Amino acid sequence: MRSNGNFKELSLRVRDGLRLYARHYPAPGSSRTPVLCLAGLTRNSRDFHDLASYLSQGARARPVYTLDYRGRGKSDWDRNWKNYAVPVEALDVIEFLAFADLKEVAVIGTSRGGLVAMLMAAAQPSSISLLVLNDIGSVIERDGLMRIASYVGRVPLPRDWAEATNIVRDVNKRSFPEIEERVWEEIARQWYNEKRGKPAPGYDPMLRNALSVLDGPVPELWPQFEALTRIPLLVVRGENSDILSARTIERMAERHSALEQFTVPKQGHAPLLKDRATQDAIAMFIQRVDDVEEALAAE
């Protein structure tokens, strides 16, 4: 375990020998429910640095963990691209919970991370105390999914960080019209790894094969969603999202009596979780659930 600023770097080997990278943002002395952050399809633990720093500090601090799936961030790439699948990634996360000795966690799942959390809720229901779904739900809009499939593994590697910033901005500026230039550079450094001071691939390009099988209607995930009905749920949606529609959230709320929702203005898929309003909404939701559970335990 190595310390790097306000987080510690972790490394574990899973059942097939791959080494996975994770971060732990400690909150010394806190007994509050820890948070586990799960990233989107091509993304990694760096996406959550701002939110994890916020949640792990202050008067109501709680420990936060973030994990790079296989083939992403600083984790090993898998020689078999077919293992870049939600069920495999869910098993990896469950192994990480055992490795970190986490019995119960509050999960924040961005896009793909929300799908992984749904499988975890079905396979190991006692491990999740609450769930924050960041721009993902029971119905995935096909247009948004095809947009993602059009660039995964196909974006050229930039020569330097200025070019990386331009690529990230150009791909996303329509859905995120008010992001400042300095933030685009931060996002570029989240998206790409760094090698010898220059951008390096942030994920295995073979991930594109996991999306190349798309043909016909995208299946709806209502059976998987049923595993969440016992769990307090917050759905965060980007106002400009082309993956999660407002109508889908309405339908989810009809089936989940404890569902709360928060819309991030002027952001698309998936909200960046960098603005204070969104961070506060997530922090307050987690704290409310903790307070209810503590009150029930005291009765």
pLDDT at 219: 84
**Does the predicted model carry a pTM greater than 0.85?**
yes
For residue 271, give the nearest of 145, 153, 133, 168 by alpha carbon. Answer: 133
Whether 118 shows a pLDDT value over 60: the answer reads yes
Nearest-10 Cα torsion for 182, 187, 190, 191:
-140
Q: Indicate the pLDDT class of residue 59, thresholds 50, 70 and 90.
A: confident
**Does 149 fall in a domain?**
no
The number of folded domains in the chain is: 1
Q: Indicate the pLDDT class of residue 2, thresholds 50, 70 and 90.
A: low
| pLDDT-wise least confident of 42-51, 101-110, 111-120, 145-154 | 145-154
* Residue in the block written with tokens 């965060």: 236
Helices then strands, each counted (H, E), the chain: 10, 11
Nearest-10 Cα torsion for 53, 272, 109, 280:
50
Whether 297 shows a pLDDT value over 90: the answer reads no
| pLDDT-wise least confident of 146-155, 156-165, 242-251 | 146-155
**Does 207 fall in a domain?**
no
**Does 213 fall in a domain?**
no
Q: Indicate the pLDDT class of residue 218, thresholds 50, 70 and 90.
A: confident
Q: Exposed, middle or buried, 65 (CB in 10 Å: 0-12/13-18/19+)?
A: buried
* Mean pLDDT score across all residues of the chain: 93
**Does 208 fall in a domain?**
no
**Does 44 fall in a domain?**
yes
Chain centre distance of CA 160: 26
Q: Indicate the pLDDT class of residue 1, thresholds 50, 70 and 90.
A: low
Which strand (E) or helix (H) includes residue 150? helix 142-151
pLDDT at 280: 97
**Does 162 fall in a domain?**
no
Query: Are 24 and 52 in contact, with CB atoms under 8 Å apart?
Result: no
Q: Among positive and negative, which fits the CA dihedral 247, 250, 251, 252?
A: positive
Counting other chains too, the contacts that 99-103 makes at CB distance below 8 Å and 24 or more residues apart are: 99/10, 99/12, 100/10, 100/22, 100/24, 100/65, 102/34, 102/36, 102/65, 102/127, 103/127
**What is the CATH classification number for the domain harbouring 262?**
3.40.50.1820
> What's at 46, amino acid-wise?
R
**Does 179 fall in a domain?**
no
| pLDDT greater at residue 193 or residue 216 | 193
**Does 188 fall in a domain?**
no
pLDDT at 146: 87
Whether 215 shows a pLDDT value over 60: the answer reads no
pLDDT at 210: 80
pLDDT at 112: 95
Cα–Cα distance, 87 to 94 (Å, whole number) = 11
Most distant CA pair in the chain, distance: 61
Structure letter (DSSP) for residue 34: P
Cα–Cα distance, 48 to 274 (Å, whole number) = 8
Q: Exposed, middle or buried, 134 (CB in 10 Å: 0-12/13-18/19+)?
A: buried
With a CB cutoff of 8 Å and minimum separation 6, the contacts of 271 are: 134, 135, 236, 237, 238, 264, 278
Instruction: Tell me the two tokens of residue 158.
Output: 């930039």
| pLDDT greater at residue 293 or residue 281 | 281
**Region 108-130: what's the mean pLDDT?**
94
Whether 217 shows a pLDDT value over 70: the answer reads no
Cα–Cα distance, 9 to 4 (Å, whole number) = 7
Q: Give residue 231's domain range.
A: 2-141+220-298
| pLDDT greater at residue 3 or residue 183 | 183
Cα–Cα distance, 204 to 111 (Å, whole number) = 18
Tens of pLDDT along 157-214? 999 999 999 999 999 999 999 999 899 999 999 999 999 999 999 999 999 988 754 5
